[in-house]
Amino acid sequence: MATPPQVAVIGSGPAGLYAAEALVKQTDGDVQVDVFDRLPTPYGLVRYGVAPDHKSIKSIARYLQRVLEGAGVRFFGEMELGRDLSRADLLECYDAVIYSTGAMVDRQLGIPGENLPGSVAATDFVNWYCGHPDAAHHDFDLTAREVAVIGVGNVAVDVVRILAKTPEELRDTDVPEQVLEKLAQSRVERIHMIGRRGPAQAKFTTKEARELGELPNASIHVLPQDMDLDPASATVAENDRHVRGNVKVLNGWTGEPAAAPRRIDVRFWLAPEEILGTAQVEGLKLERTRLDDSGRVAGTGEYETLPVGMVLRSVGYQSVPLDGVPFDERYHVVPNEGGRILDSDGTQVLREYVAGWIKRGPTGVVGTNKSDAAETVKNLLADLKDDRERPSRTIEELLESRGLPVVTYSDWLNLDAAEIALARSLNRGERVKLAHWEAMRNAIRPS
């Protein structure tokens, strides 16, 4: 390529930063990558989705930090697509654009009572205890003695674990101070984690499951009858290492639970039918399920009700449309082929690409985004022509013309230092997050 490409990456989570890294590597550094995020902080899901007590996973931020600090990569924080910048703006200033905005909203259960106070999206709860500024104003009522968590994936396990832990167990994490104080007031004694299918279909990893069983202040129980596997599930458990590991751990929880301040009941073969209550959640009606001959979930007509005062749904995430960018409303992804965005008729949309969950859906682990981004970048660079028309103006010129302030990487480092200093002053771990917008902005530009 005759002139270095200039590429905008929208989203500074793992997908976006792995894309930035791939652009630098695949061009031998002959590139300018500008990474935009609507938040003043980088790292996306690593900062605001990974559970605070999963420090080994959160340490991925140190790897991503090296990407942001590398030559040819710049960070533009608090710049939101659709508010501050349009799709047309980006195409005016860059040779190509990669959208990597992730999956930002939760899926609905679609049952009566879902909108009652006390019925909560796991997304909101996770954002709250992870210190996301959009959730800093939330005030979850943790006075209920019993709580239901709908879902048996890793996020559901994270939510259960945070609810079951004591504040002292979370003290050396980066949980915001106001969240820690709220968790200290929790009266939750019993947590029901509920799956529509059986143990062979559970989505959590064996490692995550084991962590639940190792909580010192909580006992855990599985009904023995829930572990009776149908022939198809038994075959899967025999041949799939992940399923086999899960079933082994779950079978170990079928005995009488030990006495403990909190109890976790892992329930299978139950589908939410209705969230009960008038002014707030008072119960959860469930229907017993089974797998039919085609492997689909079918109701049995048997029901039970749990006397819960809070329901957290954790049945998956989905992406939202980006202004002007093609979107598949059925699968909640941007239609693409190898990261190349496709129009409604299957025609490639020139100079626009996707990476991460908005490309493939909310699947895989953090590391999955690395190969995913590399594929997108490979196709992007293959599409660039040496005689292409250059961008008509720079992003600096555009931002200056509109008087838009930018949070730079140096600004973020001020916030980073403030959180580390806060942890030191509170005698709490490596950092304590500042969650409120005002506090974050004050730290970014100290007076």
Q: How far apart are CA 341 and CA 336, in angstroms?
A: 4
How large is the angle between the packed helices 122-129 and 154-164, nearest 10 degrees?
50
44 is in an annotated binding site: no
Q: How far apart are CA 369 and CA 64, in angstroms?
A: 12
437 is in an annotated binding site: no
357 is in an annotated binding site: yes
* Cβ contact 268:198 at 8 Å: yes
Pairing of strands 348-354, 96-99: parallel
Residue at token pair 């017993």: 288
277 is in an annotated binding site: no
196 is in an annotated binding site: yes
What 198-201 contacts at long range (C-beta under 8 Å, 24+ apart), as own/partner pairs, is: 198/226, 198/229, 198/230, 198/233, 198/268, 198/269, 198/291, 199/226, 199/227, 199/229, 199/233, 199/246, 199/247, 199/250, 199/268, 200/229, 200/233, 200/234, 200/236, 200/237, 200/243, 200/246, 200/247, 201/233
Pairing of strands 310-313, 96-99: unpaired
197 is in an annotated binding site: yes
Q: How far apart are CA 394 and CA 446, in angstroms?
A: 29
15 is in an annotated binding site: yes
* Cβ contact 298:335 at 8 Å: no
* Cβ contact 35:17 at 8 Å: yes
- Reduced to 3 states (helix: H, G, I; strand: E, B; else coil), residue 341 is strand
Q: How far apart are CA 34 and CA 409, in angstroms?
A: 11
DSSP string for 35-101 = EE-SSSS--THHHHTS-TT-HHHHTHHHHHHHHHTSTTEEEEBS--BTTTB-HHHHHHH-SEEEE--
157: phi then psi, degrees, rounded to nearest 5: -65, -40
Binding region for FAD: 15, 45, 81, 357
Binding region for NADP(+): 196-197, 208, 364
Binding region: 15, 45, 81, 196-197, 208, 357, 364
